[in-house]
Amino acid sequence: MTVNDFAGWAGYGLALLGIATLGLFVVAVAGGFAGWALIAGLVSVASFTLGAGIFGGVTHHDHKVHHSTPHML
Protein backbone atom coordinates (compact mmCIF):
# COMPACT_ATOMS: atom_id res chain seq x y z
CA MET A 1 0.00 0.00 0.00
CA THR A 2 1.42 3.36 -0.97
CA VAL A 3 1.16 6.55 1.01
CA ASN A 4 -1.37 7.88 -1.51
CA ASP A 5 -3.59 4.82 -1.05
CA PHE A 6 -3.36 5.15 2.71
CA ALA A 7 -4.22 8.86 2.56
CA GLY A 8 -7.18 8.25 0.27
CA TRP A 9 -8.68 5.43 2.30
CA ALA A 10 -7.92 7.02 5.67
CA GLY A 11 -9.49 10.29 4.55
CA TYR A 12 -12.55 8.45 3.25
CA GLY A 13 -12.93 6.39 6.42
CA LEU A 14 -12.45 9.33 8.74
CA ALA A 15 -14.97 11.40 6.76
CA LEU A 16 -17.53 8.59 7.12
CA LEU A 17 -16.79 8.37 10.85
CA GLY A 18 -17.21 12.14 11.13
CA ILE A 19 -20.58 12.04 9.37
CA ALA A 20 -21.80 9.16 11.55
CA THR A 21 -20.74 10.83 14.79
CA LEU A 22 -22.23 14.12 13.63
CA GLY A 23 -25.56 12.30 13.35
CA LEU A 24 -25.06 10.87 16.83
CA PHE A 25 -24.29 14.38 18.07
CA VAL A 26 -27.57 15.74 16.69
CA VAL A 27 -29.57 12.87 18.20
CA ALA A 28 -27.85 13.28 21.59
CA VAL A 29 -28.51 17.03 21.65
CA ALA A 30 -32.16 16.52 20.69
CA GLY A 31 -32.55 13.88 23.40
CA GLY A 32 -30.99 16.04 26.09
CA PHE A 33 -27.89 13.89 26.64
CA ALA A 34 -25.27 16.61 27.06
CA GLY A 35 -22.40 14.27 27.95
CA TRP A 36 -22.90 12.02 24.94
CA ALA A 37 -23.37 15.07 22.72
CA LEU A 38 -20.02 16.43 23.86
CA ILE A 39 -18.28 13.12 23.19
CA ALA A 40 -19.89 12.69 19.75
CA GLY A 41 -19.13 16.30 18.79
CA LEU A 42 -15.49 16.01 19.79
CA VAL A 43 -15.05 12.71 17.94
CA SER A 44 -16.70 14.21 14.86
CA VAL A 45 -14.46 17.28 14.84
CA ALA A 46 -11.36 15.18 15.53
CA SER A 47 -12.10 12.73 12.72
CA PHE A 48 -12.77 15.49 10.17
CA THR A 49 -9.60 17.32 11.23
CA LEU A 50 -7.43 14.21 11.18
CA GLY A 51 -8.77 13.10 7.79
CA ALA A 52 -8.19 16.52 6.27
CA GLY A 53 -4.73 16.70 7.83
CA ILE A 54 -3.64 13.32 6.46
CA PHE A 55 -5.03 13.99 3.01
CA GLY A 56 -3.73 17.57 2.89
CA GLY A 57 -0.27 16.62 4.13
CA VAL A 58 0.17 13.88 1.55
CA THR A 59 -1.19 16.12 -1.22
CA HIS A 60 1.22 18.90 -0.25
CA HIS A 61 4.15 16.46 -0.21
CA ASP A 62 3.16 15.04 -3.61
CA HIS A 63 2.94 18.51 -5.14
CA LYS A 64 6.36 19.34 -3.71
CA VAL A 65 8.03 16.25 -5.23
CA HIS A 66 5.90 16.34 -8.43
CA HIS A 67 3.99 13.09 -7.87
CA SER A 68 0.33 12.39 -8.53
CA THR A 69 -2.06 13.35 -5.75
CA PRO A 70 -4.09 10.81 -3.71
CA HIS A 71 -7.08 9.32 -5.49
CA MET A 72 -9.40 6.42 -4.81
CA LEU A 73 -9.65 4.84 -8.27
Beta-carbon contacts of 5 under 8 Å, excluding residues fewer than 6 positions away, are 70
**How far, rounded to the nearest angstrom, does the alpha carbon of residue 29 sit from its chain's CA centroid?**
22
69 in any annotated domain:
no
State which residues form the domain around 23: 3-64
Position 20 pLDDT exceeds 90: yes
20 in any annotated domain:
yes
Per-residue model confidence (pLDDT) at position 1: 60
70 in any annotated domain:
no
72 in any annotated domain:
no
What span, in angstroms and rounded, lies between the C-alpha atoms of 61 and 38? 34
Per-residue model confidence (pLDDT) at position 66: 81
Q: What is the per-residue pLDDT across 46-73, written as a single tens digit (0 to 9) for each?
A: 999 999 999 888 888 888 888 776 766 5
What span, in angstroms and rounded, lies between the C-alpha atoms of 49 and 39? 15
73 in any annotated domain:
no
- Give the model's confidence band at 28: pLDDT under 50 very low, under 70 low, under 90 confident, else very high: very high
Per-residue model confidence (pLDDT) at position 19: 98
Q: How many domains is the chain built from?
A: 1
